[in-house]
Amino acid sequence: MPPPFIFDVHLDLSLNAQDWNRDLRRPLDDLRKVEAHLNDKAGRGRGTVTLPEMRRARIGLCVATQIARLEHNAFSPIFGWQSQHQAWAATQGQLEWYRAMEEAGEMVQITNAADLETHLQKWMDADDTTAATLPIGYVLSLEGADSLVTLNHLERAWSNGLRAIGPAHYGPGVYAQGTDSIGGFPAKGLDLLRECDRLGMILDVTHLSDDCFWQALDLYSGPLWASHHNARALVPNQRQLADDMFLALVQRDAVVGLALDAWMMVPAWERRVTTPQSAGLYLEKIVEHLDHYCQLAGNARHVGLGTDLDGCFGTEQTPQDLNSIADLQKLPAMMSARGYTQSDIDGVMHGNFLRRLRTAWATP
């Protein structure tokens, strides 16, 4: 029996390719060797994601991002552009990388229910040899909406295949307040929500301030999910989901993706100080977050994977027993040891987010 199919709903593939200058078609060991002499970023030489590794993990489908935020705080450690026009241009360069991967037969964009089912059938029937040659499907998502110069740009993005959007990233944004900020949506953000609703966009509530989160759930009638969040009860930080937030998402039949970024997995993590070894961090910790959510919901139908692996970090900021994204295949045994059924495991690995996506794309 082949390892379970995985649907990872948050990977910054184009950011790695363009901003980190990584040829993701290459084997992981080669990529690390190329970067061994570089020290411009903490994750250099420690990457965990390439397209071959994704195939080895049987990640035949992912949500792949475009991301380019504005610089709202000159002292912020998170890079941003000086204008929306620059940010838009950056996202278009990222889109062109995805197009290049399609032309090379490495990836295929999925934008509707029919294409989704056709793609899934190829992967579900594939043995390891066949899977190693199949293109990886991707659903395009925009992480942070700062790059949308106008709402007309959102419609252009939809035409280019954008199917999910998170209005905010870190700090205050053009359309929403993000991580580590407070307050609700500005007028532009309310207009954005209405336009996303009209288009049928999946709203990603990840990175929203608490005020914006609750406002979005009140105002947005369309499909939504939380692509990469862990439990605030285990890691007290505004970046995580509080229990009442998670239960509100359950009421909307939404799904939350678990993230493998170490600071979101264990409390009191200090970047460039704490290490996976000093924190005693292993993959089992993400199963604790998973179990917390499942106990709250009373079932395993509202949790999936949104790993964010290589989201501007590498193995210096991942569990010790994760050397590659292919190590996600260790999770089923960990879940089974906690009493989760095969149906539960399949749901977490792919089925729950597929259910959400199929519902979102169902013909009215």
Structure confidence at residue 45 (pLDDT)? 96
Tell me the whole-structure pTM to 2 decimals. Answer: 0.97
Count Cβ atoms below 10 Å from residue 188 Cβ, excluding itself: 16
Give me the phi and psi of 18, to 5 degrees please.
-90, -50
What is the CATH architecture of 6-360?
Alpha-Beta Barrel (3.20)
Q: Cα 352 to the chain's mean position, in Å? A: 15
Tell me the pLDDT tens digit for each residue of 248-259: 999 999 999 999
Q: Which residues of 106-139 are buried (b: 16+ CB within 10 A; e: fewer)?
A: bbbbbbeeeebeebbeebeebeeeebeebbbbbb
- Residues written for the chain: 364
Residues lower than pLDDT 70 in the chain: 1, 73-78, 363-364
Tens of pLDDT, residue by residue over 221-266, are 999 999 999 999 999 999 999 999 999 999 999 999 999 999 999 9
Cβ(54)–Cβ(136) under 8 Å?
yes
pLDDT score, position 205: 98
